[in-house]
Structure formats: structure tokens, C-alpha cells
Structure 1
């Protein structure tokens, strides 16, 4: 599943080719891709026809375009997108034939740009934005704009504090300049759940998925099942900073591609899989101490860790009162 770095790669690829352009036509090939759209296809077409895309914004794994009417006034809605497990947003210039993405060495079947194309936005300069989704967990839909609860700029790429109502419950992410990092660390420490499940909780800090959670935990020497309440503020801050660092490094090389389901807007794969320290490396020596890395499955999710560098910590048990 694309995580924050992969979605940010897509945003950076789409922004210069879509912002300032007008939607000329919405071509819907599979109505399942707009299942979240209130009012269905007719409502989506009515909301987008003739509107101009004025900004492309990302919070966590959610993307949205701000919309303006033909007179330049904000419509009060955004066009939201989520890539789900296998979604791709691919750009095609006018007359350009779709190309099958080259697959990484470990890849499974790639999405077919013809068979798995579910929706296309045709822009006024002839550019076409294709939403390709093999597994159909992603989608596009419109959402009313509301004020961010903290009154700060809504997200990366946003011109103001407005964000789609359906993204209002999503926490800020680690690349968001408006994130209050100490407050995010305190939120992790206020929970008894295992720290990995807290990192994956999109309402606390958004954008982190399985890959970057494992990498951040390895870098901070914290085991996946350590209760959040056990961490000191200093350790929680270190963990979040490690997560931000690893995602910034992934951004530099286009994200992580373990299969051909994630590609950028030009159909190219990212190369951060070559730089991973823990995720997907079960049985290999820990880059730090040489101990074989382990993989465990908990709640249908794999966690990769070093049993020596990342030891479990539990809350201290208060002594029983003397009777």
C-alpha cells in the first residue's frame, strides 16, 4: 500500500501538470471507483465540469485538489483521492499511448493501464489523468471544505486552513510544517497499546504504514509491541523524528516499490526498498549488531525487528501494599 512518501511523490508529479488547468471531461469506466461520491456519477460530473484545479494538497495518504468555478471563486469543495492498496494516478499527454510500468525484480503482476483504468480526468490542455486501480480499494470523490480544527494551514500544499470534511479526522503527518511534534509524542505516550499500532493510527499521526513504522522502530531501537505509555517524551520524539527521516530519505529516491502496483505519475518505480534496514529482511543480519532479524505476525500484520536491539519494555508494576 502506498504510504506517505509514495503519495507525496505522486503529488509532486501531478501538481505542475494539473494545477491551473480546467477539467473538460470526467470519463468514468467503473462506477466502483467513485463509491464514496454522494450523488454518484452525475453529482461528480456536475461538481467538476468547467472547474479549475487551483492547488494539490496532501495530508497523510490523502490527496485533494482545490476547485474554483469559471469566475475564479472557490467552489467550497475539494476533489479527494486515495490510492488504497493498488491505486495509481498516471499522467498522459495528448495522444500519448499508455505504457505498462516496468516491474521491480520482486514484483507480482503489474496493473494494466488499459484493463485497470477506472476513471480519467481530461484537462483543457489535452492532458489526461488516469486513475488505475487493480484491486479497487482507492477512489475519487468530492467533499465539502471545512476549517482545520487548530486553525493552521490545513496540510502540505494548502493555501489556507480549509480541508475536506472527510479528511478532518486525519492527524497531521510528519512532513507537515504545522505539525506539533511534542504534542504528537505526548499522544503516543498517553496510550497503552503497542507502539506500532499507535504509529499506524492515522488519527494520531497520519501517513505511516507498515514499512516505515518498522524502519522507524528499528532506527529508534523500540520494539513493535512496546506500550506507548512506557516511552519517555525524549524516546517518543526520537521515534517520530526517525520516522520523518526515513520517509524523507525514501522521497529522495521515489519511494518504496516492492511490486509494480506502486509507480509514480510517469509509471516509474521507487528504489528505497534497496535501503531498508528491517522491513522485509527476515533472517538477514541486523545492520547494527549482526543478529538475525525476526518477523512476527500480529493482528494480520507483519513486524520486522531485531531481537537484540529492540527488546520489549513493559510498564513497571507497582508493589502490593503491605497489609
Structure 2
């Protein structure tokens, strides 16, 4: 599933190509992709047609487009799920095999005329959501100057790269929990935008085990983890995100290449690069985790004693 860097790459592309343009017409090719729009396909198409896209905003993995031209404030939320793609295309470009929703946009010289939502596995979707004021009165996320957020995203905490986030809030939130550290940083209500890949990378960089109890975490350790999360996200964003197959692409269809720089995730049985530099022998291990996998170094990310095996 796309994490913060991947979604930010998409947001930046949408901000360049579709912001300030008007949606002329909407065509829903698969009703399953607008199932979260509770008023149905016809309402989705009719409500969105004629609206202008005022801004493209991201908080964590949540992406939305603030709309102008409606009686009450609303946003078009795009949930990418496991395989969702938002692509800008010329109207005469062949339809993608898994094209689900087509938005025809107002003409602008040199700009593609359509925004397409493509989704092979149909876990993602689009829907129109009312908006509310942000609880802290600050801009909702990247790409926004407005203190408003879709109701569907209101429960999401500020993300790793949000300039309005206080890093010390992460320590406070973690100490309130009594769970494993990796589970906590995957909780989008604690800090948003972190998924399985970047959690493993940040924990490795911070020399912390994901099995540590949040109830025992110390402030310097959280600061180290926070710095690692920010660094990993910034490097991944600079690389265009992480792509393991053709399903994650930016709005122009290009893949990211941060996978080439991973230190822990997917490196089972390979030497820990940090230990190798220090003349130690240690191999990255893989453990089952919430139906997925966790990757860590058993030497420089020592497990709590009660969980060692």
C-alpha cells in the first residue's frame, strides 16, 4: 500500500496538472470505485461536474482535492488502497485496462485533458466528503492553507513531515499506549503516513526494536525515532517513493526507486549494513507481523528480553 512519500509524489503531480481546473464531466466506469460515496453513482457524477479543484492536499496517506462551486464546502477524497493510480492523460489516449473513473477537465494549453482513477484490485476509491474545521485551527496538511479537513480524514493525526506537528507529541502519544513500538507508529491516530516498509526502515535507522513496549520508551529514543522517520521519508520522497511492481506510479506513470536504498525491509538473510561497517556479523531477519513481515537486525536492534527467540 502506498505510504506518505508515494502519496506525496502523486499529490505534487496533481497540484501541477489539475489544481485550479474545472471538472467538466465525470464518468464512473465501475460503481465499486465510488462505493464510499453513499449517495450513489449519479450523485457523484452530477455533484462533481462543474466543480473547480481549489487545492490538492495530503495528510499522511490521505489525499483529497478541495472543491469550489458547491453550496457547502466539500472535498473529493481519493483513496489509493493497494493498487489505485491517479493518472493525467490526453482524452485520445487508450483507456487503461483497469480504468474506473474518468474526469474530463477544462482546457489548458499543454496540459492533459483527463484525470483517470485506475485500480486493479479495487480496494481504493473516490468519494465526496463534507469538510470540517481542523481541531487545532491549523492548515490540514501538505498543499493546504485552509484550516479545514474532510470528515473522512478528521481522525488522522498529523504526519511525519507536517511542519505544524510538534515532535514531542509523538513521545506523549506513545507513552499513553501500552503496545509494541512498531504497532504504535503504524497507528494513523498517533502519527500518520507510516506504513510497513518505512516503519522497518526508521526502526533500523534508530537502532530500535519494533517489539519494544511503548510504555518503557524514553524521550531520547523517541527523538531518535522521530529523526529517523523524517529522514527516511525525505529520502524516499526525493527518490520518488518505493516501487516493487508496476502498480505504484506517479501521475505520469513513472515508478519510484527508493527500493534500491532500503537497509532492512526485504533484506532477509543479507548482511546488516551497519553491523558490516563495524566489523560485526549479523543477518537481517524476517518475522511475521500482522499478516505481513517485519525486517530487523538482531544485533543492533536488540529485542526486549521477554520476546527473544
Fold match, TM over 0.5? yes
Which of 282, 300, 304 is matched with 1:309 structurally? 300
Deviation at 1:201, TM superposition (A): 0.4
Is the 1:148–1:168 Cα contact (8 Å) retained in structure 2? yes
Is the 2:28–2:45 Cα contact (8 Å) retained in structure 1? no
Is the counterpart of residue 81 in structure 1 residue 83 in structure 2? no
**Equivalent residue, structure 1, for 2:283:** 292
Deviation at 1:170, TM superposition (A): 0.6
Is the 2:59–2:142 Cα contact (8 Å) retained in structure 1? yes
Deviation at 1:173, TM superposition (A): 0.3
Is the counterpart of residue 223 in structure 1 residue 173 in structure 2? no
When the two chains are superposed, the root-mean-square deviation of aligned CA atoms in Å is 1.4
Deviation at 1:253, TM superposition (A): 1.1
Distance 2:139 2:289 in 1: 37
1:152-167 correspondence to structure 2 within 5 Å: 152-167=138-153
Is the 2:267–2:295 Cα contact (8 Å) retained in structure 1? yes
Distance 2:59 2:140 in 1: 8
**Equivalent residue, structure 2, for 1:243:** 229
Distance 1:244 1:93 in 2: 36
Deviation at 1:190, TM superposition (A): 2.0
Distance 1:169 1:84 in 2: 18
Which of 147, 153, 156 is matched with 1:170 structurally? 156
| Between 121-130 and 264-273, the greater mean CA deviation after superposition | 121-130
Is the counterpart of residue 128 in structure 1 residue 111 in structure 2? no
**Equivalent residue, structure 2, for 1:49:** 49
SS at match of 1:185: helix
Distance 2:292 2:222 in 1: 22
Is the 1:22–1:53 Cα contact (8 Å) retained in structure 2? yes
Structure 2: tracts of 5 or more residues without a match: 277-281
Distance 1:64 1:134 in 2: 20
1:141-160 correspondence to structure 2 within 5 Å: 141-160=127-146
Distance 1:153 1:28 in 2: 31
SS at match of 2:26: strand
Distance 2:82 2:245 in 1: 11
Under a length normalisation based on structure 1, what TM-score does the superposition of the two structures give?
A: 0.89
Is the counterpart of residue 114 in structure 1 residue 96 in structure 2? yes
Distance 2:160 2:289 in 1: 25
Distance 1:174 1:3 in 2: 11
Distance 1:236 1:223 in 2: 12
Distance 1:127 1:81 in 2: 19
Give deviations 1:236-263, integer Å, cap 9, x for gaps: 1210220111010011111000111101
Is the 1:186–1:233 Cα contact (8 Å) retained in structure 2? no
Distance 1:253 1:244 in 2: 14
Structure 1: tracts of 5 or more residues without a match: 99-112, 316-323
Aligned residues: 297
Distance 1:94 1:131 in 2: 14
Q: Which runs of 4+ in 1 moved over 4 A?
A: none
